[in-house]
Structure 1
Amino acid sequence: MAEAGISSCDLEVLACPICLDVLKDPVTLNCGHSYCMSCIAAYFDQDDQKRVYSCPLCRQTFSPRPVSGKNIMMADGVANLKRIEQHATVKQCSEDAEVFTPEYIEMDREGKRTNTYRFVSPHAGQFQCSLTNLVFVMEDKGEILYKIMPWDPRLLCGLGQMQPAGPLYNIECFEGSISQMHLPHCEILTEENKDSLAVTHFTCDNVEMLQALKVTSTHVIIGIKELSLFGLIKTIIFPDYSVQSQVLLFLRPTSIRQREKILDVHLLPLTIPVSEVQSQHKENTYFKTTSTCNLVHGREYTLCCQPEGFEVQPQGHVFECNFGSNYHPTFEVFMDVETEEFKLGVMDIFEEKEVWRTRRIILRAPSSNTDTADLRMITEFVDNHRQELIARVTSVMPVADGLRGKHMMPPEMYSGIDNARSRQTKMRLLFDVLDSGGPAVKAEFYRLIKDTEPCLVRDLESGC
Structure 2
Amino acid sequence: MDMSEDTKLDKSPQIFTPELKTESTKVSYRFRCPGPGMFQCSLTGLVFVVDQEAELLYSTVQWDESLLQSAGKMAAGPLFNIHCPEDAVCELHLPHCEAEDALPSEGLLSVVHITDDGMSFLKPLEITHSHVIVKVSHLSAFGLVWLGEMLQRLLNNKKPICGQLLLFLRPPARDIQILDVFLMPSNLPLSEVAAQQDDAVYIKISSDCKLIVDQRYSVLSDLEDFKIQPEFAEFYLNYGPNFFPTFEVFLTPNTQTLTLMVKHEEGTEVWKRSIPLPSPKRETGQSSLPADDNLQAEERLCAVRAEFIQRVSDTVLNQLLDKLLQRGVIGDAEMESARTKSRAEKAKDVIDSVRRKGREASSFLIDALCHLDEWLSRELSLR
Where does 1:194-209 land on structure 2 (aligned, <5 Å)? Answer: 194-195=105-106, 196-209=108-121
Q: Which moved more, 1:177-186 or 1:97-106?
A: 97-106
Q: In structure 2, give the amino acid aligned to 1:401.
A: R
TM-score (norm 2): 0.74
Q: In structure 1, give the amino acid aligned to 2:277.
A: I
Where does 1:46-445 land on structure 2 (aligned, <5 Å)? Answer: 93-106=9-22, 114-160=26-72, 162-190=73-101, 193-195=104-106, 196-235=108-147, 236-238=151-153, 239=155, 240-255=158-173, 258-314=174-230, 317-350=233-266, 352-366=267-281, 368=284, 398=302, 400-401=304-305, 414-416=311-313, 420-421=317-318, 422-423=320-321, 424=323, 427=366, 428-431=368-371, 444-445=381-382
How many residues matched? Answer: 323
Q: In structure 1, give the amino acid aligned to 2:172.
A: T
1:308-365: CA deviation from partner (whole Å, max 9, x where unpaired): 2210012971011111121110000112232222111111112x11110242433423
**Distance of 2:186 and 2:278 partners within structure 1:** 24
**Distance of 2:15 and 2:302 partners within structure 1:** 26
Deviation at 1:395, TM superposition (A): 8.2
Cα pair 1:101 1:415 within 8 Å, conserved: no
Q: In structure 1, give the amino acid aligned to 2:193.
A: V
Q: In structure 1, give the amino acid aligned to 2:305.
A: D
Cα pair 2:209 2:270 within 8 Å, conserved: yes
CA, structure 1 residues 434+254, in 2 after alignment: closer, same or farther (shift >3 Å)? farther
Deviation at 1:178, TM superposition (A): 0.7
Cα pair 1:300 1:317 within 8 Å, conserved: yes
Cα pair 2:19 2:315 within 8 Å, conserved: no
Q: In structure 2, give the amino acid aligned to 1:250.
A: F
Cα pair 1:165 1:185 within 8 Å, conserved: yes
1:396-418: CA deviation from partner (whole Å, max 9, x where unpaired): 9645436669xxxxx7xx24268
RMSD: 3.4
**Distance of 1:418 and 1:216 partners within structure 2:** 29
Deviation at 1:133, TM superposition (A): 1.0
Q: Which moved more, 1:326-335 or 1:421-430?
A: 421-430
**Distance of 2:128 and 2:103 partners within structure 1:** 15
CA, structure 1 residues 106+259, in 2 after alignment: closer, same or farther (shift >3 Å)? closer
Deviation at 1:115, TM superposition (A): 1.6
CA, structure 1 residues 316+181, in 2 after alignment: closer, same or farther (shift >3 Å)? farther
Secondary structure of the residue that 1:237 maps to in structure 2? helix
TM-score (norm 1): 0.62
**Distance of 2:125 and 2:308 partners within structure 1:** 41
Q: In structure 1, give the amino acid aligned to 2:276.
A: I
1:227-267: CA deviation from partner (whole Å, max 9, x where unpaired): 11111011223113321111111111124xx1211111111
Cα pair 2:92 2:134 within 8 Å, conserved: yes
Cα pair 1:310 1:335 within 8 Å, conserved: yes
1:270-299: CA deviation from partner (whole Å, max 9, x where unpaired): 111111111111201110112411111111
**Distance of 1:164 and 1:359 partners within structure 2:** 33
Deviation at 1:307, TM superposition (A): 2.1
CA, structure 1 residues 220+208, in 2 after alignment: closer, same or farther (shift >3 Å)? same
**Distance of 1:177 and 1:396 partners within structure 2:** 41
**Distance of 1:436 and 1:216 partners within structure 2:** 32
1:411-455: CA deviation from partner (whole Å, max 9, x where unpaired): 7xx2426862234487544456656886xx68x438xxxxxxxxx
**Distance of 1:353 and 1:116 partners within structure 2:** 38
Secondary structure of the residue that 1:226 maps to in structure 2? coil
Structure 1 residue runs of 5 or longer lacking an equivalent are 1-90, 383-388, 406-410, 447-464
**Distance of 1:232 and 1:159 partners within structure 2:** 14
Cα pair 2:164 2:207 within 8 Å, conserved: yes
Deviation at 1:207, TM superposition (A): 0.8
Q: Who is 1:58 aligned against?
A: none
Secondary structure of the residue that 1:174 maps to in structure 2? coil
Secondary structure of the residue that 1:127 maps to in structure 2? strand
CA, structure 1 residues 365+163, in 2 after alignment: closer, same or farther (shift >3 Å)? farther
Percent identity over paired residues: 32
**Distance of 2:225 and 2:271 partners within structure 1:** 20
CA, structure 1 residues 177+144, in 2 after alignment: closer, same or farther (shift >3 Å)? same
**Distance of 2:84 and 2:186 partners within structure 1:** 26
**Distance of 2:113 and 2:285 partners within structure 1:** 50
Structure 2 residue runs of 5 or longer lacking an equivalent are 1-6, 325-364
